[in-house]
Structure 1
Amino acid sequence: MYATALRLAVWPRTGGAVGLGLLAGMALQLQQATLSAPAVYVAFVLLALVGYAWVASKKIVGLWRHGVAGLCALALAWGMTGLRAVLFMSQALAPALEGRDVLVTGVVADMPQATESGLRFRLRVDAGESGTGAALLDGTPVTVPALLDVGWYTTGFNLQTQTPELQRTPPALRAGQRWQLPLRLKAPHGSINPHGFDYELYLWTQGVQATGYVRATVSSPEPQLMEQTTAAPVAQLRQWVRDRIQTRVTDPRSAGLLTALVVGDQRAIERSDWDVFRATGISHLVSISGLHITMFAWAATWLVRRGWRTSARLCQWVPASHAAWGMGLLLATAYAVFSGWGVPAQRTCLMLAMVVLLRLQGARWPWPWVALWAAVGVLLWDPWAMLQPGFWLSFVAVMLLFAAGDATNSGAGGAGRAGARGLNGSKLERGWARLRAGAVAMWREQWLITLALAPLVLLWFGQVSLVGLLANVVAIPWVTLVVTPLGLLGLVWPALWTAATGAVVLLYAAMDALAAVPYAALSLPLPPLLPGVLAALGAALLLMPLPRALRMMGLVPVLALLLWRPPVPEPGEFSLLAADVGQGNAVLVQTARHALLFDAGPRYSLESDAGNRVLLPLLKALDVQLDTVVLSHRDIDHVGGAPAVLMMQPHANLLSSLEPQHTLQQLRASQRCEAGMRWQWDGVDFEVLHPDAADYEAEPAPKANALSCVLRISNGRQAALLAGDIEAAQEQRLVDDPAMLPLLRADVLLVPHHGSKTSSTDAFLRAVQPRHALVQAGYRNRYGHPAATVVARYEALGTHLVLSPRCGAARWHSAEPQNVACMREDERHYWAHDVP
């Protein structure tokens, strides 16, 4: 396949048609909601090969040749990508094994990552020479996916007693160790939210088809270390280096950055430092590793070329430029492997290899052709890279750097010759001229990259650094030429890590100062795909060597992107967005000019919560400023994300049933939610139905669920009822109050207590008569929510039950009360988890 494609590529126009056809075929296949039958993909591949043979054997010229070749390439890429997906999907975890304790033997495939709750690591299933099955269920061999993402926690949970259960302390795992572990597995399942991170696609591209955790309780089989293997030598070396850096470098910030740069462990960097990197626009140096590897290759190429030119014998043997390109590629690939050989690094090395191959062959293709076939080479290796921001950011940056490379070299050479003529060719003058020309060229390259990438960065991340140009001019050469080399050389001479620490301290000082500049970063709502793509094309037009009047036309889509704002409800209407936060509640309510957040989701760990992971990115992407935050009660699955939200929404009022001594009261003093509270926004009425003021003073003190705030929202035609975690007693009290009965009727009900069997009584549901009922619960959550008896009650009533594990984020609009839009269904892709 590849040989035929490359042979056709030597014919200029046909090569373009083939390249575009391959890209189009892969792009079309990635749009499939579900996979086709394997026979369909095989038929397209065979048809494409027959078409290629026919084109090659016939003397066809003109547009027919280009068109047929392009169509054959499209069919070939579509079929091959589909076959790869079908093959990978066939190895998925069987649904019957989910939630079962399976005894799995495998090798720790990468560096384990320490968390506050234990360890996370990748386990490659491999029984070795033990003679037993790699996976056993009750002593019977079963098949599990080849690569698992595993957690080993310090505490567990007993499903029978519904209480925490102490686990054996995780040992100091080492890469390459073979273990036999009792695992509880499930299919990869992540939250699906507007503009959110696609965790399921991430695991797909990583080759992971099941996640799980070690069942290391006293009632489970004891995990057994079987042997230390040589199955993961690079990972073992990386772990050894990581341990040395963290032992030798005492400054935590420096140790984290050096660990990320040397061995690719980005989790070693603190969240606050990531905030600085994003504000200054240099996070690509450690998070989008493709650009960093490209800069490393560029520096290596420049150094090899400089050294090679000092030897006439070497230049006669191999031209300096060829040696520099080849050695730069090899060194960059070695660094990429050592730093973890992640998917972005693989893409970048393939992209660089394509460009170097063209140069070594002396091909003088126009840069659009180089870009086209570099993209083809990368995507034939990994078609799903097309869906990831890192590919496009790295690809655009690499193309700009290579395109500017020739101009930079010729400019530096011209400046050096001019300086030599001006001062009789003195070495000092030549050196100064080259330094000056290099600085000018680097500034120009960074300016081009910043402008070209800005629309793409806004499209995917909603934020672009206004100080990024200056920050990158400082940080890229400093990190690439000083910090990273010192970090790598420290492996040979550890004393150099002291110098590297000093370099990192200087870098942080500069970046902290730039991040503190007012309006250091511009944040905008995330636009739809089409305006973002048009803006990127407009930015490219601005950079092209064209007449000024033509280039200025590129400003139109760029300004359109800057001025775009998400739609909001009309006056008198309101919308609900039930975020997919797992086991917890978080509902965003919007009117024409106001917004309210009902609950803030759970805390996932000491380092992660729904506020930082889901709600803040969502509010930022939708350009929402909250007027009020309602925290129904103190349970952690309702207030876990509140600190992050309140910190980033300083003007939002807080309404809650929290006790005065609650820690959140120190962050933002709250007003009690009491029955009878009312207000109106843009023609929409809000009213609190529960608890009563007297409930707060009851003796003995009621449970948190009994004090849960209940909020009714209505525009006179449609209504929504957000019930928090009230239970049967509170539901009955509402039903027994004649004044409350008319207020309980609602089109949409946030199901009380996530569908617990202690709530959603028959009397309450008959009073509410909901058309839609939203259940916010985690996939395979340990509480069993929603309970089967509760589901049966809603089904008997004819209510449309919306479960967040199956729906993802759910949208409801009062202008279309009959519909609930489920993001997992509306934006379905074949790699997404098909929840049973």
Structure 2
Amino acid sequence: MRYPPLQAPLFWQTCLCFWIGGIASAVWPQQTLLCLFLLILADRRLWRITRLAFCSMLAVAGLLTAQWQLFGSPWQQGLSNPEQLLWLAQGSKNLRVCGTVTDSQGLPDQRLRLLLSGLMPEMAEQAKVIPVGHEQSEQTAVPAEQGPAPAPLTSLAALTWENPPLRPLPGQNLCLNLRPIPMQGFANVGQLPWELWWAAQGVHWRMWTQGERAEPLLQGEPGRSAHWREILRSDFLTALKAPLMQPPLLHPNDVAPDVSNPQYASAGFTSQSGGSELSQGKAILLALLFGDRQYLDQATLNNFAAATLVHSLALSGQHLVIAGMLGLACVLTLARLRPGIYLHHPKTLWVILASLPPALAYLWLGNAPASLLRATVMLFVVALWLTIGRPRTTLDALCAALLCITVAAPLNVFDTGLQLSALCVGAIGLSLPWLRQLTPEADTFSARGLRARLFWWGRTLLRIFLVSLCVQVVLLPLNMLLFGNAGFWFPLNVAWLPVADLFVLPASVLGLLCAATGMEPAARLILDVAALPCQWLVDMLDWLAESGFLSAPSMLRPHWTALPAFAALLTALAFKAGRPTLPKAALRLLLAGGLLLFAGPILRLSERLSPEIRLDVLDVGQSQAVVLRLPGHVRMMLDGGGSASPRFDPGQNIVAPVLLYNDAPRVNAVLNSHPDLDHMGGLVHILRQFGVSALFDNGRNSSDARNGWGEIWAKVRQEHMAQPLAQGDIILLGNPANGLQLEILHPPRANKISPVTNSAVNAAWEGNNASLVAKLTQHGKGLAIIPGDAERKSLRHMLDKGMDLRAEVLVLPHHGSDSSYLPDFYEAVQPRIVVAACGFENRYGYPGKKVRAWLDNAAIPLLFTGRDGQVSLIWPRDKGQDASVHVETQRASHEEAKGGRKEASRGGSPSRKELAEDTDKIKD
């Protein structure tokens, strides 16, 4: 049986690509231009000047639209009048703000993420709601001499709330003792700053709190839609035996309110902590129905991601199977009552039409994520086309859905969920001609019987496997680039997806209906049965993780050019199915994609042959990680960052992706200045996953007992046979002809042997003052000094010894803390550039005021990672004493992409745009 081959896209679909490409070019200009060039190369219709001009106008319109929505207002302020931000710049830790909840989302490990609009000081909020005709009190009145009245932030603020005692709902007003800070994440080479993703959702501010620390006060009634959704969620949790804890009684005679009461829950007083833990199997049911992951453990989510199953927990088109099942049941029931309905319309159309109401209900229940919205719109488009008698392909429906979504909300283009969802559907659409050829219909097995049924089930499972394989191949470069996961466990989809879509999800919906209608015993029984396969899967993944099978090896993250190259090659291959030869357009794509695949290796080879010396101070938050890249492809890590968070490892999530971007998982040497968590924690992942030839440190073990880091570091040191260094030691770097070496200036050589570590230590130098101070030199000239967390005592010791401290670049000791402020040391170094490794808006106020003031008076440029992102210091070639350092910052690159270059600021007092540095900072 011959099946039709893949058809070329219609011209309006080509125009859609230019519109979406124009929107994407606001953030990815180079990538978008390359993709549009490939499209022009393949589609001869665009070789006419009039059509190309029209499509170019669409791309420009998309670019302008995205630029206006992303960057039209001040980037991090959201206000046109800076004076109205004085309440924020002058705020302290006692600042109390109020805002209206616009969205509430459950995150793993008992967390909530709330989006707040109209955020402003509580007093200003009170003044705003005073009825007309009432006089203001002295507390709320704003004297004329104080300037403009405080105005609310015009952009949204994201609040991450750990162990929240309340569950605010959209429409309610929430007040807290918090100060919002600008939304800014990590910016390193090969990584897109995630504030751009937030900006696409209109969020420019963030806050973080835990429990009742911020003294939350919830007021007002939620919106009707949110109220009804919370009623269903509360009934569902009750049937699941959710961990609902009674709030503390105000008086011994008080009666505790019933938290399962929808009215009580809708007021926002549902407790989210305490009580018995919800099993992970039942937590999956909550995630599948409501998109609420609050009761999932982060470890469970990590296991699902490692097993390439995390997409099954996201509300997407695959879960609309339940809508199709309900529609089919309704049509079959109606057909038994009135068989004549098939005379008016075919059965397929009736099923699709009957599926629309449950699909809309599921969209509402899941709070309309972009991926589920895409699937629902596709269902409506297919229903419309079938009704008017114009059937279309899967790719046609996808393009129509993307057109509707991007016209209504253009910034949805930057939603990762929508991107992955659209790519999955596109992969399925491209692979359908091949799937029909590889798994033909059972013409020869049309007879009924066991053999025919076995063949049908076998073919169905084979198709699921092949579809999963196609999707995995299409997403392979993107998964490796974004998540560092090649998805070796994707065959698990064959076993899990049919169970999830055909049993778990329908049973969950049935349990929800029983719970909502008051049949709680039946609901509990149904949900207990539905949770069984989920719990079995969780237990199996836990076993695989404990056995080490889910630990994927670190692999090279492809250069971004690999994405359009793969897209061109796979699209060309898709056009071969059903055709004796490749069309000319496919041949052009095949040639372009093949050539483009060489871009990454060529760039990698050029970097390895480059004579440049490069020192990268990575943006890893309130910690320090430095990468030294030398001629001959010699790479050395000096500290690796670290975090006390149990959910975030800078080594795994930041340092490793930077090292792996278009490069292999290999580092020649690792040097740890001292075993503090913020310098050592990230190195554990690097030492375990990368090929490392040598480990150097100061000979101390870590005393940090948080999450067992001390024992972990001691074991890692032992496994890699760490070599202690001290003053006078020299590490030769690369080819001796390059004259590069790393000199250790501190601490002095040991005077005794530690009985604990069996290594030499110096009792006079402990803690931060035992940090290794390393100096990078070339032919005797000082290029950079990296002093770890050395404080005044250590710095003074080096000065007293008369050491030659001169260097072009100084990485500030102790992240720029004033506790390490020593003007004599800075004068001895005589740096041209000073860099501080510190987090954005960190709670310690680094770089310190004294350090800033001295550098400002000395006219020495100061860059720090929290503001500027990754800072790269580059010595282009070996010129001896004439070598000059070139500076690149990652955020300056992004500012250039947005059309406004961000200049490197000098030391000194922060501007109002940077807000107050002496405030108690809160880091999410």
* CA positional deviation for 1:323: 2.8
% identical equivalent positions: 21
Paired with 1:332 and 1:657, the residues of 2 have a C-alpha distance of 62
Greater displacement, 445-454 / 309-318: 309-318
Question: Could you report, residue by residue, the CA deviation over 1:567-609 in whole angstroms, capped at 9, with x for unpaired residues?
Answer: 5454875422211112221112233344332223241533324
Distance 1:521 1:563, change over 3 A: farther
**Cα pair 1:455 1:536 within 8 Å, conserved:** no
- Alignment match of 2:343 (pick from 316, 333, 342): 316
Q: Distance in 1 between matches of 2:648 and 2:742?
A: 32
Does structure 1 conserve the Cα–Cα contact (< 8 Å) formed by 2:70 and 2:200? no
Say which of 833, 852, 869 aligns to 1:791. Answer: 852
Matched to 2:566, the amino acid is A
Could you tell me how far apart the structure 2 residues matched to 1:605 and 1:137 are? 40
* CA shift digits 1:89-129 (9 cap, x unpaired): 69815553445255433344444657889865333448999
Per-residue Cα deviation, 1:275-333 (whole angstroms, up to 9, x for no partner): 4333332222225x445446666766776777777663333354322233334454344
Structure 2 partner of 1:160: none
Work out whether residues 775 and 804 of structure 1, in 8 Å CA contact, stay in contact via their aligned partners in 2.
Answer: yes
| Residues 369 and 780 of structure 1: CA distance in aligned 2, closer, same or farther (over 3 Å) | same
* Structure 1 match to 2:530: 500
Asked if 1:776 corresponds to 2:773, the answer is: no
Residues 202 and 73 of structure 1, relative CA distance in 2, 3 Å threshold = closer
SS at match of 1:575: strand
Alignment of 1:25-40 (within 5 A): 25-30=22-27
Query: Which of 725, 730, 742 is equivalent to 1:673?
Result: 725
Does structure 1 residue 600 correspond to structure 2 residue 640?
A: yes
> How do 1:443-462 residues align onto structure 2 when only pairs under 5 Å count?
443-462=465-484
Question: d(CA) in 1 for partners of 2:639 and 2:438?
Answer: 59
TM-score, with length taken from structure 2: 0.72
Cα distance in 1, alignment partners of residues 119 and 549 from structure 2: 54
Aligned counterpart in structure 1 of residue 698 of structure 2, from 653, 656, 669: 656
Pick closer, same or farther for the CA change 1:316–1:201 going to 2, 3 Å: farther
Q: Mean Cα displacement is larger for which, 713-722 or 302-311?
A: 302-311
Q: Any idea what SS the aligned residue of 1:685 has?
A: strand
Matched residue of 2:203: which SS? coil
Moved more, 584-593 or 97-106: 97-106
Is the contact made by 2:698 and 2:770 (CA closer than 8 Å) also made in structure 1? no
Tell me which residue corresponds to 2:919. Answer: none
In the TM superposition, residue 264 of structure 1 has moved relative to its aligned partner by 1.4
Q: Kindly tell me: are residues 689 and 803 of structure 1, through their superposed partners in 2, closer, same or farther at Cα, counting changes over 3 Å?
A: same
Alpha-carbon distance in structure 2 between the residues aligned to 1:678 and 1:124: 56
Determine helix, strand or coil for the equivalent of 2:368: coil
Q: CA deviation at 1:711?
A: 1.3
User: Does residue 687 of the first structure (1) align with residue 748 of the second (2)?
Assistant: no
Label 1:731 to 1:107 Cα distance change in 2 as closer, same or farther (>3 A): same
The aligned residue for residue 420 of structure 2 is 393
CA distance in structure 2 between the aligned counterparts of 1:811 and 1:242, rounded to whole angstroms: 52
CA distance 1:472–1:151, change in 2 (3 Å): closer
Structure 1's 401 and 514: CA in aligned 2 closer, same or farther, altered over 3 A?
Answer: farther
Q: 1:450–1:271: structure 2 CA closer, same or farther, 3 Å change rule?
A: same
Cα gap change, 1:122 to 1:514, in 2 (>3 Å): same
Give the conservation status (yes or no) of the 8 Å contact 1:731–1:764.
Answer: yes
Q: CA deviation at 1:359?
A: 4.1
Once the two structures are superposed, residues 624-680 of structure 1 have per-residue CA deviations (whole angstroms, 9 ceiling, x without a partner) of 423443332344433343444444348562513534766144332344331122222
> What are the within-5 Å matches in structure 2 for residues 125-164 of structure 1?
125=118, 132-133=127-128, 141-145=150-154, 147-151=156-160
Q: Contact 1:471–1:511 at 8 Å: present in 2 too?
A: no
Question: For the residues of structure 2 that align with 1:575 and 1:291, how far apart are their CA atoms?
Answer: 46
Paired residues of 2:323 and 2:359 also in contact (CA < 8 A): yes
SS of the residue 1:378 aligns to: helix
Q: How many equivalent pairs are there?
A: 771
Equivalent of residue 679 in structure 2, options 638, 643, 650: 638
2:565 maps to 1:544: no
The separation in 2 between residues aligned to 1:643 and 1:483, in whole angstroms, is 39
Q: Is the 8 A contact 1:294 1:398 kept in 2?
A: no
Deviating more after overlay: 678-687 vs 112-121 = 112-121
Q: Name 1:121's counterpart in structure 2.
A: 114
SS at match of 1:184: coil
Residues 122-168 of structure 1: per-residue CA shift (max 9 Å, x gap): 334489999643799997542223632224579xxxxxxxxxxxxxx
**Which of the residues 424, 427, 445 maps onto 1:419?**
445
Shift of 1:767: 1.9
CA distance in 2, matches of 1:779, 1:514: 38
- C-alpha change, 1:203 and 1:21, in structure 2 (3 Å) is closer
Give distance in 2, aligned partners of 1:88 and 1:293: 38
**Aligned-pair CA distance for 1:67:** 5.2
Q: Say whether the 8 Å CA contact 1:97–1:185 is kept in structure 2.
A: no
Q: Does 2:561 match 1:530?
A: yes
| Secondary structure of the structure 2 residue equivalent to 1:626 | strand
Post-superposition shift, 1:379? 2.1
After superposing the two structures, state which structure 1 stretch, 366-375 or 490-499, moved more: 366-375
Q: Spell out the pairing of 1:360-371 with structure 2 (5 A cutoff).
A: 360-364=387-391, 370-371=397-398
User: Hey, what does 1:490 align to over in structure 2?
Assistant: 511
TM-score by length of 1: 0.79
> Could you say which residue in structure 2 is the equivalent of 1:55?
none
Q: Which residue of 2 aligns with 1:9?
A: none
Could you give the per-residue CA deviations for residues 219-249 of structure 1, whole angstroms, max 9, x where no partner exists?
x9x5434345345326624752674446289
Deviates more, 1:378-387 or 1:300-309: 300-309
> Deviation digits for residues 247-289 of structure 1, max 9, x if unmatched?
28967432443332222134644344344333332222225x4
For the 8 Å contact 2:638–2:673, the answer to whether it is kept is yes
Q: What is the correspondence of 1:464-475 to structure 2 with a 5 Å cutoff?
A: 464-468=486-490, 470-475=491-496
1: distance between equivalents of 2:750 and 2:451? Answer: 86
> What is the Cα-based RMSD across aligned positions, in Å?
4.5
State the alpha-carbon separation in 2 of the partners of residues 643 and 387 from structure 1. 33
Q: What amino acid is the match of 2:679?
A: H
Task: Describe the SS at the equivalent of 1:171.
Answer: coil
Matches within 5 A, 1:810-825: 810-815=871-876, 817-825=884-892
DSSP-derived class of the 1:720 partner: strand
Cross-structure match for 2:368: 341
Aligned to 2:273: none
Partner SS, residue 278 of structure 1: helix
The farther-off stretch of 343-352 and 706-715 is: 343-352
In structure 2, relative to structure 1, the CA distance for the partners of 1:499 and 1:809 (3 Å cut) is: same
Paired residue type of 1:692: P
Q: Is the 8 A contact 1:452 1:540 kept in 2?
A: no
Counterpart for residue 755 of structure 1: 816
* Distance (Å, rounded) in 1 between the aligned partners of 2:342 and 2:541: 42
Q: 1:190-243: per-residue Cα shift (whole Å, max 9, x none)?
A: 11122335321232233323212469999x9x5434345345326624752674
Q: How does 1:51-450 map to 2 (within 5 A)?
A: 66=51, 69-70=54-55, 73-85=58-70, 92=78, 95-99=85-89, 100=91, 102-111=95-104, 113=106, 120-125=113-118, 132-133=127-128, 141-145=150-154, 147-151=156-160, 171-175=165-169, 177-196=172-191, 198-213=193-208, 223-230=216-223, 232-233=226-227, 236-237=230-231, 240=234, 243-244=237-238, 245=240, 247=242, 252-266=279-293, 268-287=295-314, 289-290=315-316, 292-293=318-319, 312-364=339-391, 370-401=397-428, 415=442, 418-420=444-446, 423=447, 426=448, 431=453, 434-450=456-472
Cα 1:191–1:571, aligned 2, differ >3 Å: closer, same or farther? Answer: closer
Distance (Å, rounded) in 2 between the aligned partners of 1:390 and 1:564: 32
Conserved 8 A contact 2:98-2:125: no
CA distance in 1, matches of 2:301, 2:824: 51
Of 775-784 and 143-152, more deviation after overlay is shown by: 143-152
1:20 Cα shift? 4.4
Question: Cα–Cα, structure 1 residues 295 and 18, in superposed 2: closer, same or farther, change >3 Å?
Answer: same
Structure 1 residue 708 corresponds to structure 2 residue 771: yes
Residue 737 to residue 487, structure 1, CA distance change in 2 (3 Å)? same
